[in-house]
Structure formats: C-alpha cells, structure tokens
Structure 1
Amino acid sequence: MIVALTGEDGDSAVADLAEDLAMLRVAAGKRVLLVSPNPRPYDAQLFDDLVIDASLRSQDTALARAGVILALLRPEALERDGCAELLARLKVMQSVNPSARVLVTVAHGRRPLTAHQAGCVLVFVAQLPHARLADTLVLEDGHDTYHSRHSELELQAYKEDRKLCAPEVRHLYREIFPQHGSYHHIGALMPRSCPL
C-alpha cells in the first residue's frame, strides 16, 4: 500500500509522523520504505508498503498514486487562512485519484482545541468529499514530538505492546492499516505474483 502524508508546505511534523508510522509498520513485520520529499531512485516492488512524506507540492505524484492520503493540519494555520492551499491541493488529488482514502488529522499542543479551531477542522473536512476525520495528535508544545496524553484510554493489549510511539500515533496507524485481514498492497501499480 502507498500511504502519502501531507500538510502545510514543509511542515516538519509530517516527516516525524511518516517515520513513526513506518516504524510501526516494520514492527508489524512488513517491508517498508520511508520515502523523503527528495528521494533517490528505488524499486517499489521490493516493499510491501511505501510511506511517503509528500509535504512539498513537488510530491503531488505520490498523492496521485496513494491508496491512503493523510493530511496533517495545524490549528493556527486553519484559523489563519483555512489551509486554503492544502485544501485546493487535496481536492485536485481527489479528482485525479478518486479511489484514495483521505484521512485528516490535527496536531495541536497540550491545550485542547478551542471551539473555533474545532469548527475550522470540521469545515475543512466537510469540503473534501468522502474524507474522514481521524483522531487528533497532541504535540509537545514547541516541539514536533507526540506525547501520550490519552494513554489511560488505550486498551490493555495496546498498553502492553512495544512502545514505539505515542498512543495517538498507534491509533492512527490502526486507522490507516486496518487489521481485518483484507490487505491492500501496491498491486494496482505493481502486481505481485504471489500472495502475502
């Protein structure tokens, strides 16, 4: 499967989130390639999944091929201009790649979203047909690292799991890579000759 993460142009939190999701996928036993915004040539057929940092506009080809597009929003940017540029970019990608699942998540500081910020998030998601709001991610104030604010709400099985990253990121991982047995791989682009 190709998972492309995007956000405001050059947001470093997108790269951190891509790295966390790739680590979780490797821990699940998959062959994963983490693709940076300026990648060197690679053979996608060698991997089960590609996790692509598509935060720069130059990476729109990755969004056009992705099975899942994850948009990371910042509340301040939503209040400032509604993330209009990102919204326009995602709308174009939905028209080019209508089969992609679009998930939207929000990264905010320790303080919860204000009512206005929550409204801005809902308006953003409502403007993208078939997009879905994923759980919000809580960043340490002033840093691009996630903390485990909601760890007491995690199921006991997940608390005992290896702690590669915060519970919010592990929950987001489960939304992107569902565990119900139907595994989607890169087959649409590069068919595999043997089943997984």
Structure 2
Amino acid sequence: MIVALTGMTDNPAASDLAQQLALLRASAGSKVLLLTQQHGPAQVDLRQPYDDVVIDTAGNCDSEAVLAAAGVIVVLIQPDELEMHDHGALLLRVRHAQEANPQAQVLVAVGHAAQALTPHEVGCVLVFVAQIASARLVDTLVLGAGGAYGTRHSALEMDDFKWENALCATEVRHLYRQVFQPAFQAH
C-alpha cells in the first residue's frame, strides 16, 4: 500500500510522522520503502518487493501524482496554519488526488502544541475537514519542541495496544492503526 503524507508547508513534523509510521510498519514485519524530502522527486516502482511505501510529499515536485497513487492520504495540519496560510491549495491537491483515485482513504491529523486547542481552532479544523469529501479526522498529535511528538494520552491507551519499549508516542501508534487498519484486520 502507498501512504502519502501531505500538509500546507514543508513541515518537518510531516517528515517525522512519515518516518515514525514507516518505523512502526517495519517493526510489524512489513518491507517498507520510506521516501522523504531528502530523496527528491519520488519515483515509486511498484514492482519492487515492498509491502508498503510511505512518502512525505512536502517539497516533492511530483506530489500530485504520488497523492493520486496513494491508497491512504494523511493530511497533517496545524491549527495556526489554517489561519495564517491559504489552505485552498492543499484542498485542491487533495481533491485532485481523490478525482484521480476515488478509492483513496483521506485521514486528517492535527498537530498542535501541548496546550489544548481553543474552540476557535477546533472550529477551523472541523471546517477544513468538512471541505474534503469522505475525509475523516483521526487524531490530534501533540508536537513538542522541535516538532517531536509527545503524548498526553498514554494512560488512556488500551493495554492491548501498549508495546514494551514503544517506538513512538501513543497518538502516532493510534494513527498507525487507522492508516493500516485493513492490514491489522488481516492479521
């Protein structure tokens, strides 16, 4: 499966999230190809022996083609970006991808600082998600200093999903289960 991550800006948090999702998938036994901004334009050869391909499309000149080929599109937004930037270009990229590949699943994740979202920010996020057909708001990810993911929810995580020597924050593991849900049900 191809999983493409996108957002409004060249956000290092999206690259970090792509790396963590690929790491979790590889630790589950899948052969994973990870393509981030450092790799330049993504040329994915589906004949390669990879179970999954995780791509950070930020800064990728071929991002629309990658999004159109993805089985899952993860849109990472930050509430302050919704107010400071024109998010119309992001909506247009996701809509074009959906037109090219109507079967693609679109998941929207919100990255924010440790403080809770304000009611206004929650409203902005909900309006953004409502503008993408069939999109689901899957989780909020707590971004710490330098864009690293932290957690406030580890105490709430079900024991079945807690892993000894966990590789990443609870929210990222939850997003991972949402992205690879069909694969989870197969095992």
2:111 is aligned, of 97, 101, 107, to 107
SS in 1 for 2:185: coil
Give per-residue Cα distances to partners, 1:97-151, cap 9 Å, x unaligned. Answer: 21100000100000111101100110011111111111110011x4210112100
Query: What is the aligned partner in structure 2 of residue 32 from structure 1?
Result: 32
Give per-residue Cα distances to partners, 1:56-97, cap 9 Å, x unaligned. Answer: 352221101000000000111112246222112111211122
Gap runs ≥5 in structure 2: none
TM-score, normalised with respect to structure 2: 0.90
- Corresponding position: 1:164 with 2:167: yes
Distance in 2 (CA, whole Å) between partners of 1:20 and 1:133 is 19
- Corresponding position: 1:51 with 2:54: yes
State whether residues 41 and 60 of structure 2, in contact with CA within 8 Å, keep that contact through their aligned partners in structure 1. no
Distance in 1 (CA, whole Å) between partners of 2:42 and 2:185 is 34
Query: What is the aligned partner in structure 2 of residue 136 from structure 1?
Result: 140
Compute the RMSD of aligned alpha carbons.
1.7
SS in 2 for 1:55: coil
Q: Percent identity?
A: 49
Query: What is the aligned partner in structure 2 of residue 149 from structure 1?
Result: 152
TM-score, normalised with respect to structure 1: 0.86
Gap runs ≥5 in structure 1: 183-196
Query: What is the aligned partner in structure 2 of residue 181 from structure 1?
Result: 186
Distance in 2 (CA, whole Å) between partners of 1:26 and 1:160 is 15
Query: What is the aligned partner in structure 2 of residue 91 from structure 1?
Result: 95
State whether residues 6 and 56 of structure 1, in contact with CA within 8 Å, keep that contact through their aligned partners in structure 2. no
State whether residues 4 and 67 of structure 2, in contact with CA within 8 Å, keep that contact through their aligned partners in structure 1. yes
State whether residues 103 and 133 of structure 1, in contact with CA within 8 Å, keep that contact through their aligned partners in structure 2. yes
Distance in 2 (CA, whole Å) between partners of 1:103 and 1:143 is 24
Distance in 2 (CA, whole Å) between partners of 1:8 and 1:103 is 15
Distance in 2 (CA, whole Å) between partners of 1:48 and 1:14 is 21
Query: What is the aligned partner in structure 1 of residue 67 from structure 2?
Result: 63
State whether residues 70 and 104 of structure 1, in contact with CA within 8 Å, keep that contact through their aligned partners in structure 2. yes
Q: Which contiguous aligned blocks of 4+ residues in structure 1 show a shift greater than 6 angstroms?
A: none
The one-letter amino acid of 1:35's match is L
Please report how far the alpha carbon of residue 43 of structure 1 lies from its aligned counterpart in structure 2 after TM superposition.
Answer: 4.2
